[in-house]
Structure 1
Amino acid sequence: MDASPEASAQQAHPLETSDRDLVDGLLAATTPSDDQLVDAARLLIRYDGFPGAVALKADLEKVIKLWKLSRDQLNARVQQLWAAGYRPGQGGSLESPAVGSGFDASDSESPA
């Protein structure tokens, strides 16, 4: 087994496939919604320093350039959103997996 140093340096992130769909949606947004701003900031943090997902990281950088934002400006806007009471899915869409596992605790049995 002769693994090249280049191949071993690149890792596959376990969420890369699902995150790719999100990033593709972000690339299509010319004017980002609050949810999209938060998603972009969250994904930039997730992949920062990760040794892999090169194409996904490059597309995230394209997203913020498309939106005419720097990473610092994006982070400042997202911090303002959270400070103003933003919570994921508050716009009525519960399809975004931004926070949590998606597990619906209301379907589980609770101890009596």
Structure 2
Amino acid sequence: MEDAPEPRSIHAIHSANKRQLTYAAPRRARAMPEIPAPDQSHPLHAIDRQVIDQLLAAATPEDGHLVDAARLLHRYEGFPGAVDLKDDLERVLRLWGLDRTALRDRTRAIWAAGYRPGLAAGAEAVGSGFDTADAES
């Protein structure tokens, strides 16, 4: 009669499983050297070019100009390309005598005062819920 194999301890089984997992682990790929990405073309470049040209023409910025400048600076920050737009946005700030911090502070105040794009100052509010309070049932 054959002898039954000796039962293995939990520790021995765990060690064997750990070795198998260690040996089966995939090898890590070597890190590739970082190659600078080519300049990318932003899909809104043509539209933003028109807006920036309007900003360059504004000697004294209005609220909408300040908001547009801040919006575009944020859009192109860290974008690998559109160098012409980035340079012109920096030129706009110099023209207006502002830095990024001052622009941020002014635009936050503009938004806090209730600014909404496309809504001219003093324009009447129009919309689906505008005149419902006076409607007769």
Corresponding residue number in structure 1 for 2:68: 39
Partner of 1:18: 47
* 1:67-86 alpha-carbon deviations (Å, 9 max, x no partner): 00000100100000001111
Aligned with 1:90: secondary structure? coil
User: Which 5+ residue runs of structure 2 have no aligned equivalent?
Assistant: 1-34, 122-127, 129-137
Aligned to 2:77: 48
Equivalent AA in structure 2 for residue 55 of structure 1: D
Counterpart in the other structure of 1:73: 102
**1:90 Cα deviation (Å)?**
1.4
User: In 1, Cα distance between the equivalents of 2:86 and 2:93?
Assistant: 11
Find the residue that maps to 2:70 and give its secondary structure. Answer: helix
Q: Report the CA distance between 1:64 and its aligned residue.
A: 0.6
- Aligned-pair CA distance for 1:9: 1.8
Measured against aligned partners, the alpha-carbon deviations of 1:8-44 in whole angstroms (never above 9, x if no partner) come to: 5200000011100000010000101100100000000
Count how many residue pairs are aligned between Structure 1 and Structure 2: 88
Partners of 1:18 and 1:83 lie apart in 2 by: 27
The gaps in structure 1 that reach 5 residues or longer are 93-105, 107-112
SS in 2 for 1:14: coil
Match of 1:90 in 2: 119
Amino acid corresponding to residue 63 of structure 1 in structure 2: V
AA aligned to 2:71 is: R
Q: Amino acid of the residue matched to residue 51 of structure 1?
A: P
Q: In structure 1, the residue corresponding to 2:53 is in which secondary structure?
A: helix
Report runs of 4+ in structure 1 exceeding 4 Å deviation.
none
RMSD: 1.6
Which one has the largest radius of gyration? 2
Structure having greater relative contact order (Cα 8 Å, sep ≥ 6) = 1
**Residue aligning to 2:10:** none
